[in-house]
């Protein structure tokens, strides 16, 4: 019995050692096949656009295709739940954001994942300032008129968003609470389709990430009242800040970042992070992101550890804000 136990134990150890060596070997040769990047919103929206710009370069570095899969629903939490449960081998990743990996925590009491416990942070891709936007024929001409108009017509005006917990939803909830109004919310599967509705004049206003708005504002198909950051953005030099336009209390900037399921080998996370860093150093990638108004993270903000800290801080920041708004 004793002999049998020892043999079983040493057999088990050998198997475990074998598994560890093979996992390490796999991590060293990673990636040997294409990678799936889940985007938790509709194609054509800000998260999708940022993910496509950066992953196209990452694919060159990694020598494998990165296939974008748009999985929509529940403000991005459907896709994020799926990513949390995916195999932690580096072949399924997610581009999450301030909504899926921070604001969703206080907004969904039964959230099936925890952004910190169920994911390995890989790398921050871009900061995305928030703008207050409206259909081009919405009557108010500037932010002051917008505030007065929305207050006077609160039960008639509507605000498009990408589902509860999305950046557009959370930012406009914050704006509405600053203004003390409760307009009608109109949910979409992402601000890509919400933007189409705004352009078509089917909805009144929206709080959206800059990446989705620059081409439309410059093309005159929608109007922008203000950008909710302390400084104007070089891609939209004529759009005033909320402070300049008379609403300094409304400040909001989102972010998009890559995450892997918890337990993804550190060597794999390191390889992916290196590919993110390389992409963000590439002139072509930088130009595309900057032209769309993104804020490119500095070197120190690109590490997995720094993204982990950002997620922790953002959950701590948004939890009391969103509880107060509710």
The contact set with ligand MLT (CB under 6 A) reads 41-42, 45-48, 97, 99, 162, 166-168, 190-192, 209
State which residue, 171 or 273, has the beta carbon closest to ligand MLT. Answer: 171
Count, residues in the chain: 326
Distance from C-alpha of 115 to C-alpha of 112, rounded to nearest angstrom: 10
- Closest distance between ligand MLT and the C-beta of residue 45, in Å? 3
CA distance 116 to 199: 37
- The residue among 46 and 90 lying less far from ligand MLT, judged by its C-beta, is 46
Cβ atoms 175, 109 nearer than 8 A: no
Closest distance between ligand MLT and the C-beta of residue 316, in Å? 20
Report in angstroms how near the CB of residue 263 gets to ligand MLT at its nearest: 26
DSSP for 71-95, written as a single string: ---GGGHHHHHHHHHS-SSSSEEEE
Query: Based on CB atoms, which residue is closest to ligand MLT, 269 or 315?
Result: 315
Cα 167 off chain centre by = 8
As measured in angstroms, the least distance from the Cβ of 185 to ligand MLT is 12
Both tokens assigned to 154: 């609160």
Q: Which ranges of the chain does DSSP label H, i.e. alpha helix?
A: 2-29, 46-62, 77-85, 104-107, 143-152, 167-179, 191-199, 214-219, 266-281, 283-291, 304-325
Rounded to whole angstroms, what are the CA distances from 69 to 51, 142, 171, 245? Answer: 11, 38, 25, 39
| Residue nearer to ligand MLT on the CB measure, 166 or 241 | 166
Give the shortest CB-98-to-ligand MLT separation in angstroms.
Answer: 8
Nearer to ligand MLT by Cβ, of 60 and 221: the residue is: 221
Nearer to ligand MLT, 62 or 213 (CB): 213
Residue 74 C-beta: closest distance to ligand MLT, Å: 12
- C-beta of 168 vs 233, nearer to ligand MLT: 168
Distance of CA 124 to the CA centre of its chain: 10
> How far apart, in whole angstroms, are the C-alpha atoms of residue 264 and residue 276?
16
**Residues 284, 98, 216, CA angle at the centre, nearest 5°?**
55
Q: Please, what is the minimum distance in Å from the beta carbon of residue 96 to ligand MLT?
A: 10
Neighbours of 63 (CB within 10 A): 9
């Amino acid at each position: 019995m004793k002999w049998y136990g020892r043999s079983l134990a040493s057999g088990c150890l050998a198997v475990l050692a074998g598994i560890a060596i093979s996992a390490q070997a796999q991590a060293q040769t990673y990636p040997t096949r294409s990678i799936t990047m889940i985007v938790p919103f509709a194609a054509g929206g800000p998260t999708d656009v940022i993910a496509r710009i950066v992953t196209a370069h990452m694919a060159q570095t990694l020598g494998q295709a990165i296939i974008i899969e748009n999985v929509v629903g529940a403000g991005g939490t459907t896709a994020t739940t799926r990513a949390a449960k995916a195999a932690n081998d580096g072949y399924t990743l997610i581009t999450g954001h301030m909504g899926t990996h921070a604001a969703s925590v206080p907004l969904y009491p039964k959230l099936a994942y925890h952004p910190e416990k169920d994911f390995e942070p890989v790398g921050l891709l871009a900061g995305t300032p928030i703008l207050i936007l409206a259909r081009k024929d919405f009557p108010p001409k500037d932010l002051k008129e917008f505030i007065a108009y929305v207050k006077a017509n609160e039960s008639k005006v509507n605000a498009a968003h990408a589902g509860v917990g999305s950046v557009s939803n959370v930012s406009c909830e914050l704006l509405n609470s600053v203004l003390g109004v409760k307009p009608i919310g109109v949910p979409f599967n992402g601000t890509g389709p919400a933007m189409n509705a705004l352009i078509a004049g089917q909805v009144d206003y929206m709080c959206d990430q800059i990446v989705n708005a620059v081409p439309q504002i410059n093309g005159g198909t929608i109007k922008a009242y203000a950008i909710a950051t302390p400084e104007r953005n070089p891609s939209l030099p004529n759009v005033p800040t909320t402070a300049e336009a008379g609403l300094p209390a409304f400040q909001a900037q989102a972010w998009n970042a890559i995450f892997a399921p918890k337990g993804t080998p550190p060597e794999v996370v390191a390889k992916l992070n290196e590919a993110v860093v390389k992409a963000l150093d590439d002139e072509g990638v930088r130009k595309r992101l900057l032209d769309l108004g993104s804020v490119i993270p500095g070197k120190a903000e690109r590490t997995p550890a720094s993204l982990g800290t950002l997620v922790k801080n953002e959950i701590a920041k948004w939890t009391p804000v969103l509880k107060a708004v509710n």
